[in-house]
């Protein structure tokens, strides 16, 4: 891999959130950054900030759900810089609402952006990596690639698919050890994606606490670029949730619905809307969105609810066990009595 100052990095989803933070962090190293997102105005702002931090920047407005546009992005980056060293797939859109309430076109667009956009990127950049003999593809997945919760069916579908896709790429690229595929799995992150999300719940939404800072995810992206790893999980509390989901699925299913209803759905009414799923226009294109300021109250609520539900589950199981034992004991008594009656009857017959 060439030195950091000579590297060329492509970042999709660079207009806000993790993508914007990663672009600025790479630029601070003096690298050349190619910025891709749908909003031309937001990209121009990010490009200016990247150059102020010492990097070179090229803004290429791109809708990653359009495969031809992603191919053009890769070619434009290679023509501008001569090569591509690192590609960060951070583009994603989001919705909140029951599956039955989520319009079909919204579901499709979320999967096409959040999953197929990263698939198209891999198809576009891998020939460049192979030509150079090296490269790092960084897919921003989510712990929603390992677990689930109500109201986010299209996003969970996309992230579970992305995790499997990344696995396959790693297996197929074993013949080119200079090419690495890294997957970043953050929990809830303090970015504007929740403000941008489509919403069909009837209530305003917020990320499920505790919320991770985008800077931690950006640090994981830089670490993957410098020292590629198969997977990097960001957020210890959410890692516990993934463990419960895997090993105690019945308890997870009992807890997750009430926790989401209390901690992710706000009491403020909200009309149904498509957010930025189709239209990138938004007043908020920052890296973070200030959600962490209110986390302490919601974390306390979530913990109280989780402990209460866990205690209820434990008590229910104990009652069921006692009932089962009682039923078994009663059945045994009846069987003993029946055998005694039969023995008396047999003796009388003799």
For the chain, which residues score pLDDT lower than 70?
1-5, 294-350
User: Which residue has tokens 């499997």?
Assistant: 164
CA dihedral 247, 250, 252, 255 (to 10 degrees): -160
The catalytic residue among 96, 151, 155, 194 is: 155
Number of domains in the chain: 1
- Distance, CA of 189 to CA of 196 (rounded, Å): 14
Is residue 309 a part of any domain in this protein? no
**pTM for the whole thing?**
0.84
User: Angle at CA 7, nearest 5°, toward 58 and 135?
Assistant: 105
Q: What is the CATH number of the domain that holds 101?
A: 3.40.50.720
Decide if 213 contacts 186 (C-beta within 8 A): no
Is residue 306 a part of any domain in this protein?
no
* Domain with 66 in it: 4-235+266-288
163 inside domain: yes
Identify whether 31 is part of a domain.
yes
| Distance, CA of 95 to CA of 168 (rounded, Å) | 27
pLDDT at residue 299, rounded to an integer: 52
- Residue 112, token pair as written in the block: 């096409």
44 falls within a domain = yes
Residue 51 lies in a domain: yes
- Plot region of 296 (φ>0 → left; ψ -120 to 50 → alpha; else → beta): alpha
DSSP 15-72: TSHHHHHHHHHHHHTT-EEEEEES-HHHHHHHHHHHHHTT-EEEEEE--TT-HHHHHH
pLDDT at 5: 57
Domain assignment present for residue 211? The answer is yes
pLDDT 10s digits, 9-35 = 999 999 999 999 999 999 999 999 999
For residue 41, give both structure tokens. 């105005």
pLDDT per residue as tens digits for the range 261-314: 999 999 999 999 999 999 998 878 999 999 887 664 555 445 545 545 555 555
120 is catalytic: no
Please check whether residue 256 lies inside any domain of the structure. no
């Amino acid at each position: 891999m060439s030195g950091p100052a000579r590297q060329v990095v492509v970042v999709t989803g660079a207009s806000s959130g993790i993508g914007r933070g990663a672009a600025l962090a790479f630029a601070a190293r003096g690298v050349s950054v190619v910025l891709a997102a749908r909003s031309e105005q937001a990209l121009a702002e990010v490009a200016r900030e990247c150059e102020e931090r010492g990097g070179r920047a090229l803004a290429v407005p791109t809708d990653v759900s359009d495969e031809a546009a992603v191919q053009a992005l890769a070619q434009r980056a290679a023509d501008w810089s001569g090569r591509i060293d690192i590609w960060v797939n951070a583009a994603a859109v989001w919705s909140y609402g029951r599956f039955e309430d989520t319009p079909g076109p919204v579901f499709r667009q979320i999967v096409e952006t959040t999953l197929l956009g990263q698939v198209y990127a891999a198809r576009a950049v891998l020939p460049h990596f192979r030509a150079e003999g090296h490269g790092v593809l960084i897919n921003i997945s989510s712990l929603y690639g390992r677990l689930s919760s109500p109201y986010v069916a299209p996003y969970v579908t996309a992230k579970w698919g992305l995790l499997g896709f990344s696995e396959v790429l790693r297996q197929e690229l074993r013949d080119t050890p200079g090419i690495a595929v890294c997957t970043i799995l953050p929990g809830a992150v303090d970015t504007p994606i929740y403000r941008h999300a489509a919403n069909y719940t009837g209530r305003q939404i917020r990320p499920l606490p505790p919320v991770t800072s985008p800077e931690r995810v950006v640090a994981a992206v830089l670490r993957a670029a410098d020292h590629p790893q198969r997977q990097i999980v960001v957020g210890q509390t959410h890692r516990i949730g993934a463990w419960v989901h895997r090993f105690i699925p019945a308890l997870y299913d009992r807890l997750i619905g009430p926790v989401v209803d209390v901690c992710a759905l706000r009491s403020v009414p909200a009309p149904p809307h498509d957010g930025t799923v189709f239209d990138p226009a938004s007043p908020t294109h920052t890296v973070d969105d200030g959600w962490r300021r209110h986390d302490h109250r919601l974390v306390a609520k979530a913990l109280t609810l989780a402990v209460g539900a866990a205690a209820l589950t434990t008590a229910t199981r104990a009652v069921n066990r006692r009932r089962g034992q009682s039923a078994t004991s009663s059945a045994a008594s009846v069987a003993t009595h029946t055998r005694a009656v039969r023995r008396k009857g047999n003796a009388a017959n003799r």
